[in-house]
Structure 1
Amino acid sequence: MTPDNAEPDLAVPADEAGVRYDLDGPVATVTLCRPEVLNAQTPAMWDELRNISRKLPGDVRVVIVRGEGRAFSAGLDLSVARGAGDSSLAVLAQLSPAECADRIASFQSAFTWLRNPSLVTIAAVQGHAIGAGFQLALNCDMRILTEDARFSMAEVTLGLVPDLGGTKRLTELVGPSRALEICVTGRRLHADEAERIGLATAVVAAGDLSGSVADLTAAVLAADAGAVAEIKALLAGAPQRTYAEQDRAEREAQTRRVRELLGPGE
């Protein structure tokens, strides 16, 4: 990993969208960079996240998602949601049900590419990760939290539902009963609870966040890329499979690995 004070191989400066993309060999870092509003998210940011997903080089193996400043993301920018723009709640309400669903699908695609089997994605979370911020972290494979981190699925406080790809991962991690409680209360979960119930991969001191993420990234990169992709796919599909189906998936994955490593007939 490139040290914090070093120049990466490629850096695209932050623009008005409020998202920065840095590339350092097989590692891409996506930074929400609206620290003055705690990285509150807008549709323009989601457009840029989608753009980043399209321009990732094929040799990228790890994507790190982080927030600039003292928070990961305070969630949806309410000034946009309550405004008069094309993606405001008022405008969405005037669309047909199909058009509204299509618009939301475009928002979701800014998040769901982080579940791509060929990538390992890591959220580096400090401070608040609320609503859309929580769901952005949930779409990542792993979440490293600082001790001051706070999660909250706050959509219910606006009379809305979580709709950015977070509900399935949340349910898989904590179970349907706890997921329901988290979503309908909108309460804030401290880092220690997040770790206890399986939402956090690790909790570290604030000063250790960058180093811990770098160590985890290095460990992922040290593993065989093909094996990592197969393992991620096996684990992602496991909840939908029976034991027999999972056994078969393991056999098929291992066969592909052996043939890839040694070649047929060797």
Structure 2
Amino acid sequence: MNVSPSSGEARFDLDGPVATVTLCRPQVLNAQTPALWADLRAFGRSLPGDVRVVIVRGEGRAFSAGLDTSAATSMLGGMATAPDADERIAAFQEAFGWLRQRSLISIAAVQGHAIGAGFQLALACDFRVCADDVLFSMAEIKLGLVPDLGGTKRLLELVGYARALELCVTGRRVAAAEASAIGLANIVVSPADLSTAAADLSAAVLQGTRDAVIEIKALLAQAAAHTFGQQEAAERAAQLRRIRSLAGLGE
């Protein structure tokens, strides 16, 4: 099943429990616009309940080079005085935020440039399968801006405070070897093997019992904010739900 977004800047495909989001502006390295974000937000809201895995990819030689510069000037200028500016940014954030839903496992298949908003889109996903030509950069600092699409929290979780701060305030580029070493990349493969590696990871996720996967993701998502005692209590509660479900007793 194919779902056509109104912007024409992405393609959405549904195949049973797997949804694929493809950014399809390779001529501009899949640069992003507010119209694309509106389509991503709408797709996330309409996603069927039986979807378990979402793969996000970009056509051509780059995942996404970030915010489209032709859209940036008018968008940012209008935001400066807009009374609903906060609501607009919240809507942009929702375009990526649904990829963190606990009922989903999201996989970014990343090649070439993943810059600014492109980096944050990859960070919104649970896993990043990377080609060995990948270059990550949190480049908002070069425009005098801050990352505002959810990327700061996920980056901090993955690489720690000092490294996250360094990457955000310098905007330097991180290649595949470093991305793997510091925890940004789950898997690094050749560009030719990227699609296969993402599909293999999706298949591995689908081998697990759906409700157990959801419980595990929820446990890990809350672990950093918990004491050991709180986390152990959460583990007990989750395990009892699974035991009762497997015994046909419900909750």
Q: Does the TM-score normalized on the shorter chain lie above 0.5?
A: yes
2:78 to 67, 82, 91: 91
| 4+ residue runs over 6 A deviation | none
Question: Which residue of 1 is the match for residue 15 of structure 2?
Answer: 24
Asked if 2 retains the 8 angstrom alpha-carbon contact of 1:17 and 1:48, the reply is: no
Shift of 1:15: 5.0
Equivalent residue letter for 2:144 = G
User: Which residue of 2 is the match for residue 33 of structure 1?
Assistant: 24
The answer for the alignment partner of 1:70 in structure 2 is 61
**Alignment counterpart, residue 178 of structure 1, candidates 146, 156, 163:** 163
**1:51 and 2:69 correspond:** no
SS in structure 2 of the partner of residue 240 of structure 1: coil
Corresponding letter in the other structure for 1:65 = V
Q: Please give the per-residue CA displacement for 1:117-166, whole angstroms capped at 9, x wherever unaligned.
A: 00000000000000000000001000000000010000000000000001
One-letter identity of the residue aligned with 2:244: R
Give distance in 1, aligned partners of 2:40 and 2:6: 12
Where 2:224 maps in the other structure, the secondary structure is helix
Deviations 1:152-198 (A, max 9, x none): 00000000000000100100110000000000000000011000000
Pick closer, same or farther for the CA change 1:108–1:140 going to 2, 3 Å.
same
| Equivalent residue in structure 2 for 1:155, among 122, 133, 140 | 140
Deviation at 1:16, TM superposition (A): 3.2
Residue 208 of structure 1 aligns to a residue whose secondary structure is helix
SS of equivalent residue, structure 1 residue 211:
helix
Give the stretch that moved more between structures: 63-72 or 255-264. 255-264
Task: Tell me, in whole angstroms, the C-alpha distance in 1 between the residues paired with 2:55 and 2:139.
Answer: 24
1:101 maps to 2:86: yes
Residue identity matched to 2:118: G
Provide TM-score, normalisation by structure 1.
0.92
Question: How far has the Cα of 1:100 moved from its partner?
Answer: 1.5
Unpaired runs of at least 5, structure 1: 1-9
Question: What is the CA–CA distance in structure 1 between the aligned matches of 2:52 and 2:118, rounded to whole Å?
Answer: 23
- Cα drift, residue 17 of structure 1: 3.6
Following TM superposition, by how much is the alpha carbon of 1:102 offset from its aligned partner in structure 2, in angstroms?
Answer: 1.3
2:245 is matched with 260
Provide the C-alpha distance between the structure 2 equivalents of 1:161 and 1:17, rounded to a whole number of angstroms.
28
Q: How many residues align?
A: 250
Q: RMSD between aligned alpha carbons?
A: 1.1
Q: Does residue 135 of the first structure (1) align with residue 126 of the second (2)?
A: no
Aligned match of 1:197: 182
**1:146, 1:209 within 8 Å by CA — same for their partners in 2?**
yes
> How many Å apart are 1:264 and its aligned residue?
3.4
The 8 Å contact of residues 5 and 39 in structure 2, kept in 1 or not, is answered as no
2:105 is aligned with 1:120 = yes
Q: Is the 8 A contact 1:41 1:76 kept in 2?
A: yes
Q: TM-score, normalised by structure 2?
A: 0.97
2:58 partner letter: G
